[in-house]
């Protein structure tokens, strides 16, 4: 970034920043897997791979799988967040590879939260 030398430069920079932020705020469906060292040690890499395989098998292409670092709940690893379009994020804990098909089928596809794995959800759910 070059130096801002005028009010017009600042306004232009502000508009560019707004567009960048707007691009980050998506309404897409997200699966977020905790990939901190604690998550990886608990099996997050395998869980992530099973999510990718299961989504490919079901041809679900409108879901973005992403990773995050440690959020300080290491005792509940593997952590998985499901953020569906227009809804608040649900966090699942102690997720094992064999839980992945159920999370995808029940929550992602059919909108039914898998309550026995939930460790965090909005008060309204």
Quote the CA–CA distance of 30 and 64 in Å, as a whole number: 5
pLDDT score at 17: 84
pLDDT score at 71: 85
Q: Bigger pLDDT: 18 or 24?
A: 18
Query: If pLDDT is split at 50, 70 and 90, which confidence band does 87 have?
Result: confident
Q: Bigger pLDDT: 19 or 39?
A: 39
pLDDT score at 4: 86
Name the pTM for this structure. Answer: 0.76
Annotated domain spans of the chain: 28-120
Quote the CA–CA distance of 18 and 24 in Å, as a whole number: 10
Asked if 33 contacts 63 with a C-beta cutoff of 8 angstroms, the reply is no
pLDDT score at 122: 76
Helix, strand or coil, per DSSP, at residue 62: coil
Give residues with Cβ within 8 angstroms of 43, minimum separation 6: 77, 78, 96, 97
Mean pLDDT for the chain overall = 89
pLDDT score at 82: 95
Evaluate if residue 23 carries a pLDDT over 70: no
Answer whether CATH 3.40.30.10 is correct for domain 28-120.
yes
Quote the CA–CA distance of 51 and 31 in Å, as a whole number: 9
pLDDT digit string (tens) for 4-20?
Answer: 899 999 999 999 888 77
């Amino acid at each position: 970034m070059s130096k801002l030398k005028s009010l017009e430069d600042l306004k232009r920079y502000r508009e560019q920043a707004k567009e960048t932020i707007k691009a980050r705020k998506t309404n897409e469906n997200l699966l977020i897997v905790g990939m901190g060292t604690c998550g990886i040690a608990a099996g997050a890499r395998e869980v992530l791979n099973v999510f990718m395989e299961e989504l490919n098998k079901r041809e679900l292409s409108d879901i973005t799988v992403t990773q995050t670092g440690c959020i300080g709940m290491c005792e509940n690893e593997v952590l998985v967040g499901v953020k569906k379009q227009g809804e608040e994020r649900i966090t699942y804990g102690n997720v094992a590879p064999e839980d992945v098909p159920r999370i995808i089928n029940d929550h992602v596809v059919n909108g039914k939260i898998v309550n026995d794995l939930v460790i965090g959800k909005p008060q309204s759910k």
